[in-house]
Structures are given as structure tokens and as C-alpha cells.
């Protein structure tokens, strides 16, 4: 069964990741993982840290000759910034930053230096998740399942809706500095980030993740903790600064009358088909054969050049938070983390449904299942 743990601090020596339950035979190299790490580091509006780090995950176990072996996969990502910190003893931080884990974490663990909290609660940890997610994507790709993301909004600047194949939409997003598939909106988003930076402000936004090629029947309606939408919502909400998740047309369908809010089913192409995908690919917590589509809403970056009110926990008096090097906007990066989280959840439910100690066995079980359900025509199309 796919499961993973991460360890390591933002300015410590590095990040450790162990992914267990990966079947043998998944092709993976440090270069393929590095590509997703590079994508997470990019995006207009990032802070100085991203100029220091050139993330690369070293594969330290579970991979031989370019393929997973079935043993736990161990990875190590060095923090280049460690060299700048290892011989320093910076003064303790006693003023918690609003919007960070500083206060809640200090109260929980009893730390008097809030730096200790921030070191682990920092979004640096999401680097480790992206490395694990790259592995999950490599596994899913062996089953013709692909996970994409793009940016829908930065602040109030919103992308238009698209009538494009997901692969095309994704290719356009990848060519944009804010990972937005529309060139004109990209320019407006960049200008909005410049404006926010000048004003000592920060911005949030919305990303969308799509997974295509999913067989129906992943997840389950039979028990609350097996519902795929529930598992995905938890995974997305666990990303730093994500404050909302919606599936398909999500909050908008809540305002529609019932006959306009579903996805009618018709017979076509040898299987039941949908003319719309308002549900975002799951019904009853189970994939229905349509693309999985979800969105994550990211709050504006909490650390702003403009000081915010807080307290000094040692002096027990009002104070203003100290500015620390920070992103102005990290929504494009959060979208890449969203892809990783979705891929990790999907890898787990695919393995639960189809099993297999070797990816060829997983594929054979999936093909058998699709044939039994009369869904194979679709699979052939996905591979063509």
C-alpha cells in the first residue's frame, strides 16, 4: 500500500522522504524527479530562497537500474541554504507571525524560540512531497493516467474558461511564468504581482488539478474514509496556505436547480458517456470514468513587507512581526504541489483496487477490470 513520510527542516541539512508500497518496475530517475522539483521552484513572484536552491532528490534506496525494486524508495534532498546557516546561532524569534504555525505550534510543543516551529511548518516541506509525487506520477503514467495543473486565479485576476484538451491546456500553462494557460491573463497576473510587491503586499489565488485516464471504480461509497473525494480534499487541504477545495463546479452547483446541476448519462462510444463534468469525476466518492477535476484556494502569503500586528511572547506586550525573506505569490508552485498530492492519493487507491507487486501485474488487473466492465474501448483511445 502506498504510504510516505517526510522529515527535515527548512534550513537544516536537507529533507528525507520514504515512500513505501511502490510496486516494482516503475521507471524513475533523479532527472525525472528533478523536473517536478524545478517546476515547484518556479513561478513569478517567488522570493530569494528559490535563487539559492536548485533542488535535486538523490535516490538512496528502492531503485535499481532506473526501475523501482518493490522495496521502500528513499530520497534525500540537500538544502543548499544550510551552508549559510549551519555555523550561525540566530537570536530566538519571540514574535509569532500571524497566519503561520508560530503561535499554535509554540503553544502545542512548548517552544520558546518560534524559529523551531517555522523550520518544520515552512512550505519547504512541500519539496519532499513533490519528490514523492513524481514517483506516484511515474507509476500512474504506466497505467496511462496523467495528472495536470494550471492556475485559474491570482488575487482577483481570473483566467477564462477553456475548451482545450487537458494535455494542450497543460502545455500552454507550462509555458507561462504564472502557469496560466492564457497569454493575456498571464500578463495581467504578473502585473498584479508587481503591484502587490510594490505595495508591500502578497497575493493568493486558485489552482486547478486534473487527472485523466482514470478507470471508474477508484475509491468507494461504502465507508466514509474510503471516499476518494474525501481523501483528495484532505490531501489538498494539507498543503500550506490552502483554505478551500472544490470538485468540478463545486460551490457554483450549490446555487443551481437540481436538473441543471448533474451530468446526464447517455449511451455512446460503447459505454455510458457524459456531456458535462460538473461533478469533477467522482460520484459517491468513486471515480465515474470522467476526468477528475478539483481546485485549491490558496490564501495570500502571510509574511508581508508591511508589518502586521502580533505580540512578543517573552516580553508579554504588543509587537509587530519581523519580515523574513518571503514569496509575494506562490500559487503557481502550490499547483505543482497539488499535482503531487493528487498523484499520491491516486497511486494509493489504484494500488488498493488493482494490487500488484509489479506494475505489469497492476496493469493486467486494471485491463481485466476494464474489459469486464466493457470499458476497454476507452483505454485503447487513451493509448493511441
Ligand X SMILES: Cc1cc2nc3c(=O)[nH]c(=O)nc-3n(C[C@H](O)[C@H](O)[C@H](O)COP(=O)(O)O)c2cc1C
Binding-site ranges for ligand X (CB under 6 A): 47, 99-101, 121-123, 126, 239-241, 299, 301-303, 326-327, 330, 333-334, 337
Query: Cβ of residue 171: shortest distance to ligand X, in angstroms?
Result: 22
Compare residues 63 and 331 and give the one whose CB is closer to ligand X: 331
Compare residues 249 and 327 and give the one whose CB is closer to ligand X: 327
Query: Cβ of residue 41: shortest distance to ligand X, in angstroms?
Result: 9
Q: How far apart are CA 243 and CA 99, in angstroms?
A: 11
Compare residues 122 and 158 and give the one whose CB is closer to ligand X: 122
To the nearest 10°, report the CA torsion of 132, 134, 138, 140: 80
Contact 350, 362 (CB under 8 A): yes
Query: Cβ of residue 128: shortest distance to ligand X, in angstroms?
Result: 12
Contact 205, 329 (CB under 8 A): yes
Query: Cβ of residue 341: shortest distance to ligand X, in angstroms?
Result: 10
Contact 165, 212 (CB under 8 A): no
DSSP per-residue letters across 143-174: TT-EEEEEEEEETTEEPPP--S-HHHHHHHHH
**Helix (H) or strand (E) segment spanning residue 102:** helix 102-109
Contact 227, 219 (CB under 8 A): yes
Query: Cβ of residue 99: shortest distance to ligand X, in angstroms?
Result: 6
Compare residues 122 and 226 and give the one whose CB is closer to ligand X: 122
Query: Cβ of residue 332: shortest distance to ligand X, in angstroms?
Result: 9
Query: Cβ of residue 205: shortest distance to ligand X, in angstroms?
Result: 11
E-strand stretches of the chain: 3-7, 14-20, 57-61, 63-64, 67-68, 73-78, 146-154, 157-158, 205-212, 242-247, 265-268, 271-274, 282-283, 286-287, 292-298, 309-312, 317-320
Compare residues 14 and 338 and give the one whose CB is closer to ligand X: 338
Contact 281, 218 (CB under 8 A): no
Compare residues 33 and 301 and give the one whose CB is closer to ligand X: 301
Helix ranges (DSSP H) in 110-265? 115-121, 126-141, 166-174, 183-198, 228-237, 250-253
Compare residues 18 and 241 and give the one whose CB is closer to ligand X: 241
Amino acid at each position: 500500500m502506498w504510504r510516505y513520510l517526510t522529515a527535515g527542516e527548512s534550513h537544516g541539512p536537507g529533507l528525507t522522504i520514504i515512500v513505501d508500497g511502490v510496486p516494482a518496475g516503475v521507471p524513475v530517475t533523479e532527472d525525472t524527479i528533478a523536473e517536478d522539483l524545478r517546476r515547484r521552484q518556479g513561478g513569478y513572484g517567488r522570493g530569494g530562497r528559490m535563487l539559492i536552491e536548485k533542488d535535486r532528490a538523490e535516490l538512496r534506496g528502492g531503485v535499481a537500474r532506473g526501475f523501482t525494486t518493490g522495496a521502500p524508495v528513499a530520497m534525500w534532498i540537500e538544502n543548499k541554504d544550510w551552508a549559510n546557516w549551519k555555523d550561525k546561532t540566530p537570536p530566538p524569534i519571540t514574535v509569532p507571525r500571524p497566519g503561520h504555525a508560530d503561535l499554535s505550534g509554540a503553544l502545542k510543543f512548548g517552544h520558546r524560540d518560534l524559529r523551531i516551529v517555522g523550520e518544520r511548518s515552512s512550505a519547504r516541506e512541500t519539496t519532499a512531497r513533490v519528490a514523492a509525487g513524481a514517483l506516484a506520477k511515474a507509476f500512474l503514467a504506466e497505467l496511462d493516467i496523467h495528472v495536470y495543473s494550471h492556475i485559474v486565479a491570482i488575487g482577483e485576476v481570473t483566467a477564462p474558461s477553456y475548451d482545450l484538451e487537458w494535455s494542450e491546456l497543460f502545455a500552454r500553462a507550462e509555458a507561462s511564468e504564472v502557469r496560466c494557460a492564457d497569454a493575456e491573463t498571464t500578463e495581467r497576473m504578473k502585473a498584479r504581482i508587481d503591484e502587490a510587491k510594490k505595495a508591500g503586499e502578497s497575493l493568493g489565488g486558485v489552482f486547478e488539478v486534473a487527472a485523466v485516464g482514470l478507470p471508474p471504480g477508484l475509491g468507494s461509497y461504502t465507508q466514509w474514509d474510503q471516499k476518494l473525494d474525501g481523501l483528495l480534499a484532505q490531501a489538498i487541504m494539507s498543503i500550506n496556505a490552502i483554505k478551500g477545495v472544490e470538485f468540478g463546479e463545486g460551490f457554483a452547483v450549490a446555487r443551481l436547480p437540481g436538473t441543471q446541476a448533474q451530468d446526464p448519462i447517455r449511451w455512446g462510444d460503447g459505454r455510458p458517456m457524459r456531456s458535462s463534468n460538473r461533478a469533477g469525476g467522482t460520484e459517491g466518492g468513486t471515480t465515474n470514468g470522467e476526468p477528475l477535476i478539483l481546485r485549491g484556494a490558496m490564501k495570500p502569503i502571510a509574511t508581508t513587507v508591511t508589518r502586521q500586528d502580533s505580540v512578543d511572547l517573552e516580553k508579554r506586550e504588543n509587537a509587530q512581526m519581523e519580515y523574513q525573506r518571503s514569496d509575494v505569490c506562490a500559487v503557481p508552485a502550490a499547483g505543482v504541489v497539488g499535482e503531487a498530492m493528487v498523484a499520491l492519493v491516486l497511486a494509493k487507491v489504484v494500488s488498493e483496487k488493482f494490487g500488484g507487486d509489479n506494475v505489469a501485474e497492476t496493469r493486467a488487473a486494471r485491463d481485466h477490470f476494464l474489459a469486464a466492465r466493457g470499458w476497454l474501448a476507452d483505454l485503447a483511445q487513451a493509448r493511441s
